[in-house]
Amino acid sequence: MSNTISHLPSSLPIAPMPASTGVGPSKSSGFSSSLANAIEQVEQLHTDAQSNAADMMQNGGQDLHNVMIAVEKADISFQLMMQVRNKIVNAYQEISRLQF
């Protein structure tokens, strides 16, 4: 039965790694820039909600409905950002446990 199995050929030489393609920490596009843009958007929503609320309190220029919508948008986007952060931290912890 073992006669039907042929011997494996000797290992082939490993080809050298190609030169760097520019992907890495020095590249500004990618996950980190996407994350930074998302954080800036959340920050902008928070700033808009604060300015709408302050405008309503001081001048009555904003109606309560629009202010509440802006505040809820800011709150929901912040909650989403925190959940994404939690997932990133959990993924990092899992990866660090896998390394020996």
For residue 99, the model assigns a pLDDT of: 75
CA distance to 24, 39, 79, 90, per residue, from 85 (Å): 21, 11, 10, 9
Please work out, in degrees rounded to the nearest 5, the angle formed at the alpha carbon of residue 38 by the alpha carbons of 28 and 73.
Answer: 170
Q: Please report the pLDDT score of residue 100 as a whole number.
A: 62
Listed in sequence order, the DSSP H helices in the chain are: 31-58, 64-98
The pLDDT of residue 51 is 93
pTM over 0.75: no
pLDDT at 83: 96
The tens place of each residue's pLDDT in the chain, 100 residues long, gives 455 655 555 555 555 656 655 555 555 568 889 999 999 999 999 999 999 999 999 987 778 899 999 999 999 999 999 999 999 999 999 999 987 6
Question: Look-up: residue for tokens 């909600």?
Answer: 49
